[in-house]
């Protein structure tokens, strides 16, 4: 049968109807997409007419937070004040949902449509957006199929698994001297702490009520134990105690567990969550923050960072870490695992100033090839220090004690030692702690882009490095005599107001043998129980001190 050559005529009227319908459909889809709410980081111009005051910080900070600043003589500023509540109310009236606010950035994370955003940006007290786009756009979300944190687990290991990582930085000596993190509080900003409340290695933390709080900034809830398990392993590097299997570097510290990271995506909102988490940690009164998180590229490529952005001043996360440091918190941040990738460099907030950025070495104390390198974009030494990050001992959410690899673990291993060091030296400021640890680094005199100042050591950091005073210096705080002594030594303080001063006695390794407040201008110390040798006697307060070498003879 032959095919027909007949052509069927289509009416121009029908074509016009179809085109109109198609255009209308596209317009509807565009309007619907534009109407979807997205999240934006809104910045305000000022904190004028605030109901809060820098003279009454307890209205928005905990007693512990206030005490930390007072101890380090850090003044309260307008940056510490909460966002003006009246500004928040006006933003809500425009139709936006306010999710979180930031004291330090004077900002609010809001969710609204583009139409509502336009209206909000016209408010007289609004400065603009911190990032000129949505930081978590539902129109551009492509969920990852698996967690961004890869597992490097090997076989279950035997007794003493954490021995190498502890001894490498001198944390074993720290423990021998009685410093395990008692009284120190560490905030852990991570992706979740799956099953941390049920595994044996972390049981003492819960039995002794040393988990001081939890919060999930991704879901806006207190529960953190049902999400990603990366934070569980990170926490174990500091807080685990399972005799014969794994011991954390600060296993007697208290911990604040904060989920700021969505492990199944990478968007700028996670940097904003980091900001909110750091502020929350400040308000609770933590001493240290450990964060094994880093940001460089995002699922929305248009928001990805360039290396030039990593100058400590540009990204949301770096600003947050710097602000945390400015209020007396020691931030310990992983450098990143891009050392053998195209990116190579540290991620943010590891580029922040006044923090400890931690790279990784292997058990032979050599550079681990995955560890991200420095310097920062503005030429500062990064990483600052390194610790064991290749085959580090961890506990998993299943309760297994095993090994894993990454700066995610070298950071908390070191953070725990920092906590113990600060416990041993309570009069130091946060910046003095960082300085002492950098100077204890194995290559402090010759830092490089891979290991920074090198592997720190508790004993080296804890050994006094200040110039010793002599007995006849006019500016010395005290005199100690007789020196040398065979037993008792008399201390004469050259100050009349003595209640602000302390005395401490250390051996030549830096071990603190005595630490006590001073109650009188002249007092005696007995050295009878000490072996013959050299000791260091320090008298001081939070702002000044004098160190004298004391010789004990038979």
Active site residues per annotation = 190, 230, 408
Residue 187: partners with Cβ closer than 8 Å, 6 or more residues away: 255, 256, 258, 277, 278, 281, 284, 286, 288, 289, 290
Taking each helix axis from N to C end, the angle separating 269-284 and 316-326, rounded to the nearest 10 degrees, works out to: 10
Query: Cis ω on the peptide bond leading into residue 78 (within 30° of 0)?
Result: no
Can you tell me the distance from the alpha carbon of 234 to that of 229, in angstroms, rounded to the nearest whole number? 9
Residue 267: partners with Cβ closer than 8 Å, 6 or more residues away: 135, 136, 137, 141, 298, 299, 300, 303
CA distances from 64 to 57, 191, 285, 344, 416 (A): 11, 26, 5, 39, 20
For residue 21, report the phi and psi dihedrals to the nearest 5 degrees: -65, -45
Q: If you ran DSSP here, which 8-state letter would residue 245 be given?
A: T
List the end-to-end C-alpha distance of the chain, in Å, as a whole number: 125
Can you tell me the distance from the alpha carbon of 357 to that of 338, in angstroms, rounded to the nearest whole number? 14
- In 58-140, which ranges are E strands? 97-102, 107-112, 126-129
Find the radius of gyration of the CA atoms of the chain: 28
Q: Do 407 and 336 contact (CB within 8 A), yes or no?
A: yes
Q: Is the dihedral of CA 51, 54, 60, 63 positive or negative?
A: negative
User: CB under 8 Å, gap of 24 or more: what pairs does 50-56 form?
Assistant: 50/81, 50/82, 50/84, 51/85, 52/81, 52/82, 53/81, 54/78, 54/80, 54/81
């Amino acid at each position: 049968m032959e095919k027909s050559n007949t052509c069927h005529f289509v009416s121009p009227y029908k074509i016009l109807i179809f085109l109109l319908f198609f255009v209308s459909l596209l317009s509807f889809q565009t309007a619907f997409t534009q109407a979807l709410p997205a999240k934006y980081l809104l910045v305000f111009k000022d904190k004028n007419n605030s109901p809060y005051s820098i003279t009454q910080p307890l209205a928005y900070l905990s007693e512990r937070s206030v005490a930390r600043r007072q101890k380090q003589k850090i003044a309260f500023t307008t940056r510490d004040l909460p966002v003006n509540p009246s500004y928040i109310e006006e933003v809500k009236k425009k139709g936006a949902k306010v999710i979180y606010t930031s004291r330090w950035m004077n900002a609010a994370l809001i969710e609204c449509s583009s139409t509502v955003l336009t209206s909000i940006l016209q408010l007289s007290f609004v400065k603009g957006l911190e990032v000129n786009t949505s930081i978590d756009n539902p129109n551009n979300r492509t969920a990852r199929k698996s967690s961004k944190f890869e597992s490097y687990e090997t076989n279950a290991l035997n007794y003493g698994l954490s021995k190498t990582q502890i001894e490498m930085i001198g944390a074993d000596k720290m423990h021998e001297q009685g410093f395990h993190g008692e009284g120190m509080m560490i905030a852990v900003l991570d992706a979740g702490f799956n099953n941390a409340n049920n595994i044996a290695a972390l049981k003492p933390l819960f039995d002794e009520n040393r988990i001081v709080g939890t919060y999930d900034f991704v879901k806006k809830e207190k529960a953190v134990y049902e999400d990603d398990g990366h934070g569980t392993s990170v926490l174990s590097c500091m807080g685990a105690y399972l005799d014969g299997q794994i011991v954390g570097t600060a296993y007697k510290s208290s911990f604040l567990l904060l989920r700021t990271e969505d492990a199944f995506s990478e968007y700028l909102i996670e940097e904003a969550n980091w900001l909110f988490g750091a502020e929350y940690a400040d308000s609770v009164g933590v001493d240290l923050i450990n964060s094994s998180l880093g940001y460089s590229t995002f699922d929305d490529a248009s928001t990805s960072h360039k290396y030039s952005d990593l100058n400590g001043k540009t990204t949301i996360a770096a600003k947050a870490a710097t602000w945390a440091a400015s209020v007396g918190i020691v931030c310990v941040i992983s450098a990143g695992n891009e050392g053998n990738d195209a990116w190579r460099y540290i991620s943010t907030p590891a580029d922040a100033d006044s923090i400890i950025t931690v790279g990784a070495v292997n058990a032979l104390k050599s550079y681990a090839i995955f560890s991200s390198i420095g310097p920062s974009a503005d030429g500062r030494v990064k990483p600052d220090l390194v610790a064991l990050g290749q085959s580090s001992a961890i506990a998993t959410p299943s309760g297994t004690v095993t090994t894993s690899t990454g700066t995610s673990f070298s950071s908390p291993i070191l953070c725990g030692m920092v906590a113990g060091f600060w416990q041993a030296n309570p009069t130091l400021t946060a910046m003095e702690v960082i300085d002492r640890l950098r100077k204890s680094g194995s290559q402090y005199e010759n830092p490089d882009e891979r290991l920074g100042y090198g592997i720190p050591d508790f004993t080296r950091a804890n050994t006094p490095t200040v110039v010793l005073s002599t007995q006849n210096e006019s500016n010395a705080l005290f005199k100690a005599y007789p020196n040398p002594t065979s037993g008792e030594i008399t201390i004469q303080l050259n100050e009349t107001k003595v209640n602000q001063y302390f005395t401490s006695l250390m051996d030549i390794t830096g071990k603190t043998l005595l630490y006590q407040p001073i109650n009188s201008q002249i007092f005696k110390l007995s050295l009878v129980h000490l072996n013959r040798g050299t000791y260091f006697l320090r008298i001081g307060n939070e702002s000044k001190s004098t160190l004298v070498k004391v010789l004990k003879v038979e």
